[in-house]
């Protein structure tokens, strides 16, 4: 990285002087930086930002500031921060009750009866009830759901359209008190549609509702997690309205994700549930994201463990750990069938059964107190958030210009630029060779570096060491002292910039609920040098300012 | 090529046969097994009606003392795949239910006491592969290759269903099960709580 050449050739500026000059110049520089930060003509930049967000979650998603999860030492969840649990049904669980795929209403009814003992706060069945069932089976199912409802637990059922449950025929079904049981009274339909980022098909976003472009916001079928969260809220209607109001049809919130598995899952997982990918390891070995999620971040109970104690005798002689886990929790019942196809691609680029999509979304809503992270593009009055970006970049640009002015004012060498004596030494060395020879040699060397990535690391190390050695060998004491001053100045500016970025991230994430994709780009500006690429605009602006001054001078004199 | 496909299909059906022919669980093979009491934190026990041929459906939920007013142990009259136990009661949920069933998760049996207080869980895995038409193809769960914080790994097949070759992992809970307090322990037959 080098600083730009001094603007000695430019005509004297008029407005771009002193403090006012720095303010205006930094504003111009920040505006250009903001433009390039969001310049996305073919979508390539967006992919990079999303992947950067995935890396943020992969490396830091276990930290409380990024994804506040229930502490592992907390046995029973509180009403304010209830636990979300996934219960997986597989072929073995079906076999324990003599059932088989597709999962019948009779089996679902049995599961509801078993879960009723555990007093969950809500149950969501991530199964489409589209297979034919007898009125008696349907009635049994509704009766169980009604018993849960009477006990204070709602039953949510996945549907693909609002009227899908109307097809359930329960005949003349009545509860124990003789009241007629109707589907709409005991089951709450919810959308289970998945959203993908179109460029890489990763399920990073969770939709607020399922609706068409023609429907007004708030009139679609609420997504499972959104409805379950708002139903548990003190003001369900207000909560639903707040989350869905003014959103575009395809709007969704970003799923914060943790690479660390839930501690409860360690009992059945062969992989460690506390394994966190290391950024250093990733940089060195190029394994940026985990290959598999063997221990999911949501507590998971296999239905076989519930139906057969010999599958899991660690839940306590009195089932105390089972009650600790499930009482007051939101239970998502999903399938874990080989080849079923109901899978999601997590932001860590691994796959999980689809039910985790909804479970993590609900956990996000609880974790962020009903204010999940929503991208700027899905916000109303989005210009506000870009203004915030501009403010942050303005500060960063001001720091950059302050450092640059200080350095050039004191005639200090740029920290990473070659000194004049070193340039002269290299020019003398290369000048002894025929021009054709050194050009061809350079081309061959660069070709090899391009073709063999391993040479790039080696080449960088060799070149840096050689240049540092050269500077130390031929530079004077004064040169080295200047270099050291410049380096200290650079580090100071970097630290200050990082502090600004940290503050911006905190405000953006905590208070503006912006996901990492909307602020991870700040980090590239913290390394001060990023602005160098755009300083040409300042030279241009200074020339215009000088011309403006020249035009104004005759008018003033006349 | 056809012979190869036939052999593969036979292998798959063999795997499925082995799975279906698993010997019954411990709780089902023990003679004179008895239900000693509930383990539902004093909540009603979910009961099922039905049979092996026609399937099971929920019948009702009742307190333990509705099934055993004198807190007697109940003889197990039937057992289904280690998950359901049939008890000699056909009236707790009204008439016409036949003899009722209760989930093994919710009761303590003499078979449970005979097994002791081993705390272990069967290894599980998430089905995230993209397979086509291989539902019956069963992979073994590999035993954990390293010790957890809490100790050693149990050998494969040392727990769970007798013919189940899946590994069993020690649960990652810090301490073994404490002996239940008297008030929580299911009372022995004919003994007041």
Q: Are B188 and B178 in contact (CB under 8 A)?
A: no
Statement to judge: residues A181 and A293 lie in one domain: yes
A319 inside 8 A of chain B by CB: yes
Residue A9, in any domain of the structure: no
Helices (H), A83-163: 91-96, 105-117, 135-150
Q: Find, in chain A, the residue whose alpha carbon is nearest to that of B135.
A: A338
pLDDT of residue A421: 84
Query: To the nearest whole angstrom, how far is the Cα of A135 from the nearest Cα of chain B?
Result: 13
10 Å Cβ neighbour count for A538? 25
pLDDT in tens, A387-444: 999 999 999 999 888 888 777 665 666 777 788 888 889 999 888 889 999 999 999 9
Q: Which of A338, A373, A408 is the last residue of a domain?
A: A373
Question: Where does a domain end: A353, A373, A393?
Answer: A373
- Summary mean pLDDT of chain A: 88
Output the six-digit token pair for A267.
């009992």
Find chain B residues with C-beta within 8 A of A96's C-beta.
Answer: 81-83
Residue A346 belongs to a domain: yes
**A304 shares a domain with A260:** yes
User: Do A285 and A319 sit in the same domain of this protein?
Assistant: yes
Quick one: A191 and A97 in the same domain?
yes
For the segment A190-210, the average pLDDT, to the nearest whole number, is 93
Gap between the terminal Cα atoms of chain A: 47
Between CA A308 and CA B107 the distance in angstroms is: 11
| Omega before residue A102 within 30° of 0, cis | yes
- B47-94 per-position pLDDT tens digit: 999 998 889 999 999 999 999 999 999 999 999 999 999 999 999 999
The pLDDT value given to residue B102: 97
Identify the domain containing residue A247 by its residue range: 59-65+79-373
Give the burial string for B63-87 (b: 16+ CB within 10 Å, else e): ebebbbeebbbbebeebbbbbbbbb
- Number of continuous H segments (helices) and E segments (strands) in chain B: 4, 10
Q: Which residues contact A502 (CB under 8 A, 6 or more apart)?
A: none
- Segment B164-182 shows an average pLDDT of 38
| pLDDT value, residue A117 | 96
ipTM metric: 0.80
Residues A400 and A502 in one domain: yes
Alpha-helical (H) ranges within A418-476 are: 420-431, 435-451, 453-474
CA distance A13 to A24: 12
Pick the closest to residue A91 from B136, B129, B12 (CA basis): B136
Q: Are residues A258 and A164 in the same domain?
A: yes
- Given an 8 Å threshold on Cβ–Cβ distance, is A97 in contact with B40? no
Give tens-digit pLDDT for A512-558.
999 999 998 888 777 656 666 667 777 777 777 777 777 766 665 65
Q: DSSP 3-state helix, strand, coil percentages of chain B (rounded to 5)?
A: 20, 25, 60
pLDDT for residue B13 is more than 50: no
Q: What percent of chain B has pLDDT over 70?
A: 51
Residues A321 and A202 in one domain: yes
User: pLDDT of A350-360, one tens digit each?
Assistant: 999 999 999 99
Q: Where are the alpha helices (DSSP H) in A251-354?
A: 279-285, 303-307, 320-326
pLDDT of residue B18: 36
Residue ending a domain, choose from A373, A401, A435? A373
Confirm or reject contact between B157 and chain A (CB < 8 A). no
A427 occurs within a structural domain: yes
Does A427 share its domain with A319?
A: no
- What is the rounded distance in angstroms from the CA atom of residue A434 to the CA atom of residue A24? 48
- CA-CA distance, A192 to A208, in Å (whole number)? 11
User: Which helix (H) or strand (E) is A155 found in, with range?
Assistant: strand A154-159
User: Count of A–B CB contacts within 8 Å?
Assistant: 179
Indicate if A149 and A25 belong to the same structural domain: no
Q: Are A95 and B55 in contact (CB under 8 A)?
A: no
Query: So what's the pLDDT on residue A141?
Result: 95
Domain count of the fold of chain A = 2
Shared domain for A405 and A515, answered yes or no, is yes
Residue A38 forms contact with B (CB below 8 Å): no
- What residues 97-156 of chain B have any CB closer than 8 A to a CB of chain A? 103-106, 108, 112, 115, 117-135, 137, 141-145, 148
Q: CB atoms < 10 A from the CB of A444, how many?
A: 10
Partner-chain residue, chosen from B48, B121, B145, that has the shortest CB–CB distance to A268: B121
Angle at B8 between CA B2 and CA B9, to 5 degrees: 90
| DSSP state letter for A349 | S
Across the interface, of B45, B56, B115, the residue whose CB is closest to A97 is: B56
Alpha-carbon distance B60 to B50, whole Å?
A: 12
* Whole-number pLDDT of residue B178: 35
Give pLDDT, residue B154.
30
**pLDDT value at A4 more than 50:** no
Minimal CA separation from A309 to chain B, in Å: 5
CA distance A378 to A375: 6
Other C-beta atoms closer than 10 Å to the C-beta of A2 total: 11
- Interface probe for A, chosen from B127, B133, B154, B185 (most Cβ of A below 10 Å), is B127
CA distance A432 to B34: 99
In-domain check, residue A251: yes
Is A73 part of any domain?
A: no
Lowest mean pLDDT among A78-87, A322-331, B52-61, B152-161: B152-161
User: CB distance B135–A338 less than 8 Å?
Assistant: yes
- Mean pLDDT across chain B, nearest whole number? 67
A106, A147, A268 member nearest B123 (Cβ): A268
């Amino acid at each position: 990285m080098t600083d730009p050449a001094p603007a000695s050739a430019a005509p004297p500026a008029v407005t771009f002087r002193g403090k006012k000059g720095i303010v205006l110049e930094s504003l111009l520089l920040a505006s250009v930086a903001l433009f390039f930060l969001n310049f996305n003509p073919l979508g390539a930049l967006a992919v990079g930002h999303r992947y950067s967000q995935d890396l943020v979650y992969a490396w830091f998603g276990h930290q409380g500031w990024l994804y506040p999860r229930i502490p592992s030492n907390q046995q029973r969840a509180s009403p304010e921060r209830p636990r979300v649990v996934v219960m997986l049904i597989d072929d073995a669980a079906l076999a324990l009750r003599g059932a088989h795929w597709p999962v019948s209403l009779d089996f679902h009814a049995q599961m509801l009866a078993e879960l009723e003992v555990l007093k969950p706060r809500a149950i969501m069945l991530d199964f489409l009830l589209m297979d034919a069932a007898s009125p008696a089976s349907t009635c049994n199912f509704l009766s169980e759901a009604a018993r849960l409802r009477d006990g204070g637990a709602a039953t949510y059922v996945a549907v693909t359209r609002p009227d899908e449950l109307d097809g359930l025929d329960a005949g003349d079904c009545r509860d124990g008190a003789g009241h007629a049981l109707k589907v709409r009274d005991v089951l709450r339909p919810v959308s289970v549609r998945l959203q993908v980022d179109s460029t890489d098909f990763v399920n990073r976003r969770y939709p607020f509702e399922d609706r068409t472009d023609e429907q007004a916001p708030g009139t679609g079928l609420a997504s499972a997690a959104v409805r379950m969260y708002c139903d548990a809220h003190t003001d369900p209607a207000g909560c639903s309205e707040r989350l869905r109001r003014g959103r575009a049809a395809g709007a969704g919130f970003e799923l914060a994700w943790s690479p660390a598995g839930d501690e409860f899952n360690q009992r059945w997982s062969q992989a460690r549930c506390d394994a966190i990918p290391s950024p250093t390891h990733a940089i060195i070995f190029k394994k940026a994201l985990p290959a598999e999620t063997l221990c999911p971040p949501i507590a998971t109970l296999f239905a076989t463990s519930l139906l057969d104690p010999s599958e899991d005798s660690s839940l306590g002689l009195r089932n105390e750990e089972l009650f600790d886990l499930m009482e007051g929790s939101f239970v998502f019942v999903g399938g874990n069938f080989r080849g079923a196809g109901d899978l999601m691609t997590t932001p860590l680029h691994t796959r999980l059964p689809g039910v985790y999509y909804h479970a993590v979304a609900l956990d996000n809503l609880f974790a962020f107190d009903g204010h999940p992270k929503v991208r700027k593009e899905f916000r109303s009055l989005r210009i506000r958030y870009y203004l915030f970006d501009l403010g942050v970049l303005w500060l960063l640009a001001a720091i950059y210009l302050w450092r640059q002015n200080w350095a050039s004012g004191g005639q200090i060498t740029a920290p990473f630029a070659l000194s004049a004596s070193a340039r002269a030494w290299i020019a003398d060395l290369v000048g002894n060779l025929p021009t054709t020879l050194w050009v061809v040699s350079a081309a061959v060397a660069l070709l090899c570096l391009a073709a063999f990535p391993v040479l790039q690391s080696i080449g960088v190390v060799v070149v840096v060491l050689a240049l540092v050695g050269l500077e130390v060998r031929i530079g004077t004491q004064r040169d080295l002292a200047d270099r050291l001053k410049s380096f200290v100045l650079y580090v100071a500016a970097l630290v200050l910039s990082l502090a600004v970025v940290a503050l911006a991230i905190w405000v953006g994430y905590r208070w503006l609920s912006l996901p990492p994709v909307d602020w991870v780009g700040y980090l590239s500006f913290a390394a001060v040098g990023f602005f160098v690429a755009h300083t040409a605009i300042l030279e241009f602006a200074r020339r215009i300012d000088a011309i403006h001054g020249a035009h104004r001078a005759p008018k003033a004199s006349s | 090529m056809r012979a190869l496909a036939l052999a593969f299909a036979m292998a798959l059906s063999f795997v499925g046969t082995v799975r279906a022919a698993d010997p019954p669980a411990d709780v089902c093979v023990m003679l004179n097994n008895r239900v000693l009491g509930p383990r539902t934190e004093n909540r009603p026990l979910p009961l099922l009606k039905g049979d092996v041929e026609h399937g099971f459906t929920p019948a009702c939920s009742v307190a333990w003392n509705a099934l055993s007013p004198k807190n007697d142990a109940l003889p197990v009259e039937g057992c289904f795949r280690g998950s359901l136990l049939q008890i000699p009661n056909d009236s707790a949920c009204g008439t016409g239910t036949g003899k009722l069933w209760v989930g093994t998760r919710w009761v303590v049996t003499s078979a449970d006491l005979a097994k002791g207080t081993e705390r272990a869980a069967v290894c599980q895995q998430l089905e995230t592969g993209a397979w086509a038409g291989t539902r019956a193809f069963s992979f073994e769960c590999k035993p954990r290759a390293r010790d957890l914080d809490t100790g050693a790994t149990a050998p494969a097949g040392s727990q769970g269903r007798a013919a189940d070759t899946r590994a069993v992992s020690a649960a990652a809970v810090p301490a073994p099960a404490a002996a239940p307090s008297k008030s929580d322990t299911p009372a022995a037959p004919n003994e007041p709580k």
